[in-house]
A and B are shown apart, each in its own frame.
Chain A
Amino acid sequence: MSDLDFSVVLRSLPYLLKGLGYTAQLTAAAAVGGTVFGTLLALARLSSLQPLRLAASGYVNLMRSIPLLLVIFWFYFLVPVVIQSITGAERPPQIGAERSAYITFVMFEAAYFCEIMRAGIQSVARGQQGAAFALGLTYRQAMAYVILPQAFRNMLPVLLTQTIILFQDVSLVSLLNVTDFVGAAVKIAQRDSRIVEMYSVVAVVYFGLCFALSQMVKGLQRRIAVVR
């Protein structure tokens, strides 16, 4: 108890910050990619074509019913094999967990962002779509200029809250030996036998960041609520 030494945190600061940088990059990429694919999935789930609807809902339900950790490991093994079958290479390419995590999180978060965007699209008044079609807009134009902007705006606080959850979920890649923020802390903690110090600092940093971000989302929610 008395021999806690937090100077290890200062000494390893550059390494930790590099890990935090990777975590932030992965979060941002997954949030943007997940929103794009999630919106496409949501449109597919609301489509009038039954096969499209079934495929999209099957994908979303599958992703949402298995643990993220299992998804991370699935993609870690599947991505090289899939790339191999596309390119016809002789052996599966060496992707590495750092890069396969980008694909994993975009594909995984797409399922969650899909459900948010679906709720957002369904929250737009029916008359809006009718009005858009009456003005002669095509399906694509009606979605792009009328429905989706409103859906996106209504759901922005929920999308951001999901992104904060995503920011925390990224920490699971440390179990594939990836040097994200947690992964960096684990490695330093084991090298210097400073487990208590490193893990407490990681917890405090996550709490500070996520708490501040969630307060900002709450503020945004209040502002949007006033405008509407």
Chain B
Amino acid sequence: MHWGIFLEQVPDGDAAWWQMLGGGLLWTLATAACAWVVAFVIGSAVGVARTTRSGWLVACGNAYVEVFRNVPLIVQFFLWYFVVPGLVPALQRAVSDMDPTLFQFETSVVCLGLFTAARIAEQVRAGILALAGGQRYAAYAMGLSEFQTYRYVLLPNAYRIIIPPLTSELMNLVKNTAVAYSIGLTELFFRTREMGEITFRYFEAFGAATVVYGVVAMSANRLMALIERRTAVPGYLGGRR
């Protein structure tokens, strides 16, 4: 073992290896954060659509979830990175003018965002269905529109119920960013692998990545636990009295 390797310079580069890995970590975090926003917005919309009374919306929501859950993530990466630009000539032209790093980043955000959205949609739907049916009717009886019912009554309660499963989805999302390595995004796993190949210090590189991924997963877990405590509804078993 030679842990000093992290302080050594990268060949033909002006940074040390720890800075390379740190840069990779920043891409990992940026990708996960942006993808989480995409996933949360689209996942909520799809989840809500699946609980409405419109058969058409429910069918579209179900189809979305089935498509994104039944194709492996790496294949989805290939679809967004190679197939979609290949099928849309206008997009192909835009891509060829684009900074390749930016295109890899945007593809990763879109791909991971839509992939995770299908999982969030499942949770949002489960959360809404877990609420007592009377809440919806009480909201309608008070004269709230369907939109207002979801915005002010159903969703605020449903989100609170599903914080634990959302926590695991956030942790999964962070882990899944490693698959962006397949399209060449220079995130943490890419840099780890690169460091192993160049220095032959695989154990040190992978050991460091294991620790860093562990710390990130743990931090995501603690962050969600904090949100859970802050938003707990008083009077429920999980809430303050």
Residue B66, interface by CB 8 Å: yes
Find out whether the CB atom of B213 lies under 8 angstroms from the CB atom of A199: no
Residue B138, interface by CB 8 Å: no
Known: A67-B175, A67-B176, A211-B66. A62 touches B75 (CB 8 A): no
Known: A67-B213, A70-B192, A196-B82. A175 touches B74 (CB 8 A): yes
Q: How far is the CA of A42 from the CA of B209 in the complex (A)?
A: 27
Contact indicator per residue, chain B 76-91, by CB within 8 Å of chain A (1) or not (0): 1011001100110100
Interface residues of A in 158-186 (CB under 8 A from B): 168-169, 171-172, 174-175, 182
CB distance from B148 to the nearest CB of A (A): 34
Find out whether the CB atom of B203 lies under 8 angstroms from the CB atom of A77: yes
CB distance from B72 to the nearest CB of A (A): 4
Known: A67-B213, A69-B178. A182 touches B189 (CB 8 A): no
Residue B59, interface by CB 8 Å: no
Q: How far is the CA of A171 from the CA of B176 in the complex (A)?
A: 13
| A65 contact set on B, CB distance < 8 A | 171, 175, 213-214, 217-218
| A202 contact set on B, CB distance < 8 A | 75, 78
Known: A65-B213, A68-B175, A196-B86. A175 touches B78 (CB 8 A): no
Q: How far is the CA of A118 from the CA of B20 in the complex (A)?
A: 40
Find out whether the CB atom of B86 lies under 8 angstroms from the CB atom of A206: no
Q: How far is the CA of A202 from the CA of B175 in the complex (A)?
A: 24
| A195 contact set on B, CB distance < 8 A | 82-83, 86
Residue A214, interface by CB 8 Å: yes
The contact size tier of chain A is: 20 to 34
Find out whether the CB atom of A169 lies under 8 angstroms from the CB atom of B206: no
| Interface of chain A: mostly helix, strand, loop or mixed | helix
Find out whether the CB atom of B73 lies under 8 angstroms from the CB atom of A175: no
Find out whether the CB atom of A206 lies under 8 angstroms from the CB atom of B70: yes
Q: How far is the CA of A175 from the CA of B182 in the complex (A)?
A: 7
Q: How far is the CA of A171 from the CA of B75 in the complex (A)?
A: 8
Find out whether the CB atom of B82 lies under 8 angstroms from the CB atom of A69: no
Q: Which residue of A lies closest to B218 (CB)?
A: A65
Find out whether the CB atom of A66 lies under 8 angstroms from the CB atom of B82: no
Residue A1, interface by CB 8 Å: yes
Residue B159, interface by CB 8 Å: no
Residue B57, interface by CB 8 Å: no
CB distance from A95 to the nearest CB of B (A): 15
Residue A10, interface by CB 8 Å: no
CB distance from A176 to the nearest CB of B (A): 11
Residue A227, interface by CB 8 Å: no
| B179 contact set on A, CB distance < 8 A | 67, 69, 172
CB distance from A65 to the nearest CB of B (A): 4
Residue A73, interface by CB 8 Å: yes
Find out whether the CB atom of A203 lies under 8 angstroms from the CB atom of B189: no
Contact indicator per residue, chain B 154-178, by CB within 8 Å of chain A (1) or not (0): 0000000000000000010001111
Residue B202, interface by CB 8 Å: yes
Residue A138, interface by CB 8 Å: no
Find out whether the CB atom of B206 lies under 8 angstroms from the CB atom of A203: no
CB distance from A25 to the nearest CB of B (A): 17
Find out whether the CB atom of B193 lies under 8 angstroms from the CB atom of A199: no
Find out whether the CB atom of A67 lies under 8 angstroms from the CB atom of B189: yes
Find out whether the CB atom of B213 lies under 8 angstroms from the CB atom of A175: no
Q: Report 24 cross-chain contacts, Cβ distance below 8 Å, ordered by A residue.
A: A65-B213, A66-B213, A67-B178, A67-B189, A69-B178, A70-B192, A70-B206, A70-B210, A70-B213, A77-B206, A169-B72, A171-B72, A174-B74, A175-B74, A195-B86, A196-B87, A199-B78, A202-B75, A203-B79, A206-B71, A206-B75, A207-B67, A207-B70, A211-B66
What are the 6 tightest A-B residue pairs by CB atom distance, in nearest-first order?
A: A67-B178, A210-B70, A168-B72, A196-B86, A67-B175, A171-B72
Task: Identify the B interface with A (CB < 8 A).
Answer: 66-67, 69-76, 78-79, 82-83, 86-87, 89, 171, 175-179, 181-182, 189, 192-193, 202-203, 206, 209-210, 213-214, 217-218
Task: Identify the A interface with B (CB < 8 A).
Answer: 1, 62, 65-70, 73-74, 77, 168-169, 171-172, 174-175, 182, 195-196, 199-200, 202-203, 206-207, 210-211, 214
